Structure 1
């Protein structure tokens, strides 16, 4: 039986000494190019170009000093502008010096190319080109909302365009590629790290933009319930950011097979160590799916009464009438007893108790109490109040008054207080008294204990 041929080596191990030598040669070559470029700046026709560039920088700063207060005053007068337009205007206002430098530099280049040789304006043209590229990168960075990502993308692109127009991208790329860390078969260079950061930042920016656009469209769709809107938005965010992360890793040549195995092992460990967190995450998904609560609902959980402001992955934000915001874990809403005052509808029945004196006619009291409750604005007329006797107390006849409202978000304590005030006014007008506890004391006559004993 014929044996299989031995595997053929497709690559040879890299010699560290040879790598260091190559890196040293590349660094020396890069330094030689920079020194040669610096020496050319000492030539007479290059020195006067540097002087002109400094003069143009001064002109730009003087122009900014003159225009800045006028631009800020003009922006303060734009009160009706939307927020995004004001943010863009402020973003551009910060770059007025660079805009002025680009304008005067290109005008200077155009004039000098008409009156002298093109080489006499080479440095000025290079400075104008770099400034234009920096300006475009800075303005385009406005679309990135996250401050860290915005700075990362700006600095990365600024460095890249600078090296590109100076003709140093290939040399710097080779040096960064040789600055690498090798562990087994894995090799990560400085160039890979920089490329990964820039690509991932751009992908996360795109994912954030798509997520925000999708969220606005979903929130405006009235056919989707509020809880399903939150679920769809959360699912889209996880999908977009996850795709951006894995695409960024794939773009730099990372092996996702090993990452999948590692993530599985980490997932098992996190499952044991973060049981509460996982439980809250799963409970949040269940809440969104079964639509038991949604943003805007009025709930009671223990001593907490308020309306739901937002549904998060780990907690629910509940705002009370006094302005306090409680972050209630999702698990508590699943396992605990929650009163949802507006689950199927917003109708809520409220009960208040009161008592009147025994000499007051109970038929009249019930009629007056129903009329007083009906006169309050928030009490529903198509579900009229009712009043019943619930007992005969020590010093009063006890009643219960029941009425309905359909706006629990407006508060419960205040409507009870308004009904009590209406009862007080109605009882005062009709001579109905509200008794208070009374005690009767009887004084017994003095008795001679010795005389009573003699009679016995």
Structure 2
């Protein structure tokens, strides 16, 4: 179907909607849109109900978003053909609705590309809404024959940058091209990153390095492609490179240090995702490694952003560098009349737990002879420290309590005997 501007003006639409044929076309177009909505709902129920994670991938998401406009447009085009062949009239209203559906398809593809390129969050949602609004404004301006006036107005606003005279239309066109090329590079880099992270045969740190290098190279290549398209000489990059060098020397060296340190950490594999680190008396697990910082998630759920150069320049205790098992112990006290051999054996038996390592096996020790009790200690290696220690410790203490009660082993509490020396007799008042 060929869309002509003269058939889509606001005045032409008003004229056609004032006739009975125009109203019939509008009703037919509305039924086609409702049918498209029905098809879209059926597709969602068939492919995405119970599996919403499919929408997180680019191709299923953009495919689902295109079902409504494409299916409705197919029906509108078929109705337009039937309208022309049967009645012999031109389908003006159906042609406008078809153009709107086509533009909706374009907008949804652009929104999907933005969703792929930008990180999830409010910024991505607002950017998607803003782009959709601008696209619809451009369509209304085109359909209403207002685009020529807008372009002439933008060209009339001129200014000079040195010896070069620019107008607002050139600036907006340059920004549009740069945005499209850079967003395309970011979308491609995110798709490549997802594919790389699924390659389980590669080391996780190597996958992260390749993903970050791919993103950096694609963004740099996008800028190098965009500049010649806009007519900007690449020799200006020499001046920009000198400015960046001065900036690195004056205040950006910390950023450069963190960036380079991030690649060093990933390449030497000293720190990996899931490692348990102790940094400045803070213990947590590495949940994310970026080019500037490492996210350390504490046992209480809080997350600390540790700069990469801190991990390079300072001493970091990696409690899971070669083995993620963590040793811990529980202290208990027993009375002096306790059979210690039996108590130690009971402690070893209690430590048989799915979360406790068999090799090295748990063991029990006699630690100290106290004032009123003997201190024993049960030591064991935890296989999954990322799941915490409090629940396991509670289960073991309850098992020790029950087992000791069944075998007549008492846990004494401190006892003190107080004697009053040279106590005086109470004075009795004779009155």
- Tell me what 1:229 maps to: 207
Residue aligning to 1:108: 83
| Superposition map of 1:131-280 within 5 A | 131=100, 133-138=102-107, 140-141=109-110, 143-146=112-115, 148=127, 152=131, 159=138, 180-269=158-247, 271-274=249-252, 276-280=254-258
Change (3 A) 1:176 1:290: same
Aligned residue pair count: 402
Q: 1:203 to 1:260 in 2, by over 3 A?
A: same
2:283 matched to 1:305?
Answer: yes
The DSSP-based 3-state class of the residue aligned with 2:114 is: coil
Specify the alignment match of 1:5 in structure 2: none
Query: 1: CA distance between counterparts of 2:341 and 2:134?
Result: 83
1:89 aligns with 2:67: no
1:238-276 Cα deviation digits (max 9, x unpaired): 111222123112210113323431353245235533454
Q: Which has the larger radius of gyration?
A: 1
Give the aligned partner of residue 361 of structure 2.
Answer: 384
The aligned residue for residue 29 of structure 2 is 60
Mapped contact 1:102–1:132 kept (Cα < 8 A):
no
Aligned-partner Cα distance in 1 for 2:218–2:107: 25
The answer for the alignment partner of 2:336 in structure 1 is 358
Extract unaligned runs of 5+ from structure 1.
Answer: 1-33, 449-456
* Structure 2: gaps (5+ residues): 116-123, 426-431
Q: 1:428 to 1:275 in 2, by over 3 A?
A: farther
* Cα 1:272–1:109 shift into 2, 3 Å: farther
Contact 1:88 1:142 in 2 (8 A): no
Higher mean alpha-carbon deviation, 79-88 vs 49-58, is at 49-58
- Structure 1 length as normaliser, TM-score? 0.71
| Aligned position for 1:291 | 269
Cα–Cα, structure 1 residues 227 and 50, in superposed 2: closer, same or farther, change >3 Å? farther
Q: Which residue of 1 aligns with 2:375?
A: 398
Question: Could you tell which deviates more after superposition, 232-241 or 148-157?
Answer: 148-157
Does the 8 A contact of 1:207 with 1:241 survive in 2?
yes
Deviation at 1:136, TM superposition (A): 4.9
Deviation, structure 1 residue 221 = 1.7
Q: Taking structure 1 as reference, are residues 334 and 435 closer, same or farther at Cα in structure 2, changes over 3 Å only?
A: farther
Q: What's the offset of the Cα at 1:291? A: 1.3
| Partners of 1:153 and 1:201 within 8 A in 2 | no
Tell me how far apart the structure 2 counterparts of residues 47 and 352 of structure 1 sit (CA, whole Å).
87
Pair 180,97 (structure 1): closer, same or farther in 2 beyond 3 Å? farther
Q: Equivalent residues in 2 for 1:7-22 (5 A)?
A: none
Contact 1:92 1:139 (8 Å CA) reproduced:
no
